[in-house]
Amino acid sequence: MILALAGTGALTSYLFRHADPGSTLVRGCLVLLGGVALTLVGVWVNSALLLYGGSVVAGAGLGPAFSAFVRIVAPLAPAESRGALIGAIYVVTYLAFSIPAVIAGAAATVFGLRATTLAYGLVVIGLSAATTVAVSRRMARV
């Protein structure tokens, strides 16, 4: 699962490295949303194929979206502060992955792995949808 998500994310980040970052961010969020939805369907119907396929699709959205975000934000900082900004982005990113994972681990002991996975996935879909709308509105104003 991790390789399906992260490996696909790394590959697609590389492939889309020259694409327009604004549209890549929006499209990446939409692909991520679809991939997580497909993964949740796989969990719901007990399909390993859909589970792994959804992870590949989610990675294909997450990787380019994250690299597009960095390409949009990094130039906004002065050159002498850019390293600190990139470091802060990665610290927040690691916390954004690890804290929910710890909470989900605790929730799984109470609610079960399947229910926790479905709830976690729905939150990810909601956040991805909100990001897509916010970035799309911002791009429309620019």
CATH code assigned at 23: 1.20.1250.20
User: What is the full DSSP assignment across the chain?
Assistant: -HIIIIIHHHHHHHHTTTS-HHHHHHHHHHHHHHHHHHHHHHHHTT-HHHHHHHHHHHHHHHHHHHHHHHHHHGGGS-GGGHHHHHHHHHHHHHHHHHHHHHHHHHHHHHH-HHHHHHHHHHHHHHHHHHHHHHHHHHHHH-
pLDDT in tens, 47-74: 999 999 999 999 999 999 999 999 999 9
Asked if 68 and 24 count as a contact pair (C-beta separation under 8 A), the reply is yes
Number of domains into which the chain is organized: 1
Question: In a 10 Å sphere around its CB, with 0-12 CB exposed, 13-18 middle and 19+ buried, how is residue 110 labelled?
Answer: exposed
Res. 89: pLDDT tops 90: yes
Looking at residues 7-30, what average pLDDT do you find? 95
Task: Give the pLDDT of residue 66.
Answer: 95
Q: Find the domain containing 9 and state its range.
A: 2-141
pLDDT in tens, 98-118: 999 999 999 999 999 999 999
